[in-house]
Structure 1
C-alpha cells in the first residue's frame, strides 16, 4: 500500500519538521544552540554544493546562451515582476489586503530565489526534455542567486513591506548586515568548496545518495528551527484562515502564470525545439527550497519562519503540477516547436 502511494521521503521529513515545531517547538533556552547549529549546517551544505559542482558544467551552460538567459530572466526578472504585480493587485489595491503583510513578504521573497536543481532535472528527464540544458540552467541559476537574491530582496521585499526586524530602506544598515551574514554563511563556503572541489569533488559525486540524505536532513532541521522561532513568536495566532486560503490561491496564480509565460516565450524563441522548451518551462517556473531556507535564515533571522511559509507550499505545488505536465508531455511526439 505504501509503495503504491509513493510517499516522497523529503516531503515526509518536511511534514515531520513542521509538525514537531508546531506541537513541540524548541524552548527558548535551546533556541540559540539550534540557531548556531543551523548556521553551521548551512555553511556545510554550501561548501559541499561548491565542491560537487564542476567548472565544466558552468562552461557548458554558456554555450546555449539563449536558453540560459531565458531561464535567468524568468527567475530574476519575470518572477519578481509578476510577484510585484500580484502584490499591487491583491494587497495595495484593497483596504485590508489579501494574505497579510507578513505572508506577502514571504511571497515576494519566493520570487527572488533561484531555480531548484533536483526536481527541475528529474521532471525534465521524465518529460523527455533536454536534461543537460536543465542541469546547466538550474546550476547557473543557483550560482548567480548567491549574489542576486539578496540584492533583489533589498529592492523588492524590504522597501515595500518594512518587515519587522528588517530595514525598509534599500541598502540600509540592516540590509548590509544581512548581506554580510549571507556572504559569510553561503557565498564564502561555496567558493571554498569550489577550491576544494579539485581534491574531493570526484569522491563527493560518487556518494550522491548519502550527501542528498545529509542535505535534506539539514534542511529539515533548519525548517524545525525556523518554525520553532515562528511558533514561539505566535505566528499562527497572527494568521487567519482567510489569509492562509488567500496565500494558497496567490501561489497557484503565480505558478500557473510562470508555467504559461515561460512556455510561451520558449515557443516564440527562434530555433528552440520542444525538449529545450520543456527545460525552460520547468527550470524557469521553479524555486529552490534547498537554497531558500538557508537564505531566509541568513537574511531574515527571527522572521525566517513566516517568510518560509509560502516557499514550503509553493515547493509542493510546483512538484505536483509539473509532474502532471511531465506525464502529459511524455505522450507527445518529439517534434520541434512549429511557428
Structure 2
C-alpha cells in the first residue's frame, strides 16, 4: 500500500517532522542557532548539487531550446496564471497566508531529481530533462522573487525589495552551486563513492527546514488557524491544479509535434514544483510571515505530484509503444 501511494521513507519523515514540531517546537535562542545550522546545510546542499550535475549532459540538452522554452512557459507562466485565476475562489476559503503559500508554489521552479528520475523511468529524453530542470531552478532564483514582489507583496502593504531577496538567494543557492561546478573534477569522484550522500543530505536539509518552519508556525498558533476542512480544501485545490497542468503538459507537446521522448521530458519537468528549493526560498522571501502556512501548500502538492508521476512513469515504462503510435 505504501508503494502504491508513493509514501516513501522521506514522506513519512516529513509527516513526523510536522508532528514533532507540533509537540516539541523549537523556539527562542535555540531556534536562532537551529536556523543558522539549517542555512549552512542549504548552502552545502546546493554545492553538492553543483558538483553532481554533469556538464556534458547540460551541453547535450541545452541545444533543444524548443523543449526548454515550453517547459519554461509551463513553469513560470501557466502555473502563475492558474494560481492568480484561482484567487477569487481560494482566498476566501483558505485565508491570506495559505493562499500566499499556494501562489508562491505556483511561482517556484521545477524539481530536478524527481523530474529526471521519472523521465528516465518512462524512457524519455533524460539529457534534456537534466538541462531543463536545472535551468528552471537557476532561473527561478531570479524569477520567483520578482513574481512574489509583483503579485504577493506588490498587492499588500509590506515593504518588500526583490533585489535584496535575489542577492540573498544568489549567495545562498547560486554561488554554492557554481562553486560546486567549478570544483566538480575533485568533488565528483567522492560523490561517486558515496552515491546516496546528496540524496541523504538533500532530504535531511529539507526535514530541518520543515521542522524549523513548522516550529515557528506552531508557536504562532498554526493549528488554531488551520482546520481539517481547510486542509481538505487545500488538498483538493492542489489536486485540481496538478490535473489541469498535467493535461496541458500531455496534449500541448503532442499538438506541437514533439517526439515521444521529448513529450515525456516536458510532461515531468513542466508539471512539477520543487520542495527542495522552495522551502529555502520561502525562508528568505517571507521573513516575518507565518512560514509554516506558506510552505504547507508546496508540501501537499509535492506529495501529490510524486504519487501521480510515479504511477504515470511506471505505466509509460511498460507501454512505450502506445505513445509512439498516437
Q: Same fold (TM over 0.5)?
A: yes
Q: Where in structure 1 are there 5+ consecutive unaligned residues?
A: 92-96
Candidates 95, 110, 119, aligned match of 2:114: 119
Pair 1:16–1:133, CA change in 2 (3 A) = same
Q: Deviations over 1:235-260 (max 9, x none)?
A: 22122333222211111111011101
3-state secondary structure, aligned to 2:93: coil
3-state secondary structure, aligned to 2:110: coil
Q: In the alignment, what sits opposite 1:286?
A: 272
Pair 1:194–1:284, CA change in 2 (3 A) = same
Q: In the alignment, what sits opposite 1:136?
A: 131
Alpha-carbon shift at residue 282 of structure 1 (Å):
1.1
Pair 1:274–1:218, CA change in 2 (3 A) = same
Contact 1:267 1:337 in 2 (8 A): no
Q: In the alignment, what sits opposite 2:282?
A: 296
Alpha-carbon shift at residue 205 of structure 1 (Å):
4.2
Alpha-carbon shift at residue 116 of structure 1 (Å):
0.9
CA distance in 2, matches of 1:49, 1:183: 15
Q: In the alignment, what sits opposite 2:51?
A: 51
3-state secondary structure, aligned to 1:287: coil
CA distance in 1, matches of 2:191, 2:320: 37
Deviating more after overlay: 316-325 vs 49-58: 49-58
Which aligned segments of 4 or more residues in structure 1 are displaced greater than 4 angstroms?
Answer: 1-7, 335-339
CA distance in 2, matches of 1:337, 1:6: 27
1:262-277 map, 5 Å? 262-270=249-257, 272-277=258-263
Contact 1:251 1:310 in 2 (8 A): yes
Candidates 279, 303, 318, aligned match of 1:316: 303
Q: Where in structure 2 are there 5+ consecutive unaligned residues?
A: none
1:51-130 map, 5 Å? 51-91=51-91, 97-130=92-125
TM-score scaled by length of structure 2: 0.91
Q: Deviations over 1:280-336 (max 9, x none)?
A: 111100011111111111222343221100000000000111222223323434366
Alpha-carbon shift at residue 143 of structure 1 (Å):
2.0
CA distance in 2, matches of 1:302, 1:263: 39
Are residue 231 (structure 1) and residue 210 (structure 2) matched? Answer: no
Contact 1:99 1:242 in 2 (8 A): no
3-state secondary structure, aligned to 1:288: coil
Contact 1:185 1:298 in 2 (8 A): no
Contact 1:181 1:299 in 2 (8 A): no
CA distance in 1, matches of 2:164, 2:203: 28
Q: Deviations over 1:26-85 (max 9, x none)?
A: 132311111111111111111221222233232222211111111111111111111111
The number of equivalent residue pairs is 325
TM-score scaled by length of structure 1: 0.88
Alpha-carbon shift at residue 180 of structure 1 (Å):
2.9
Alpha-carbon shift at residue 275 of structure 1 (Å):
2.4
Are residue 248 (structure 1) and residue 243 (structure 2) matched? Answer: no
Task: Calculate the aligned-residue CA RMSD, in Å.
Answer: 2.3
CA distance in 1, matches of 2:243, 2:5: 26
1:128-167 map, 5 Å? 128-160=123-155, 166-167=158-159
Are residue 325 (structure 1) and residue 294 (structure 2) matched? Answer: no
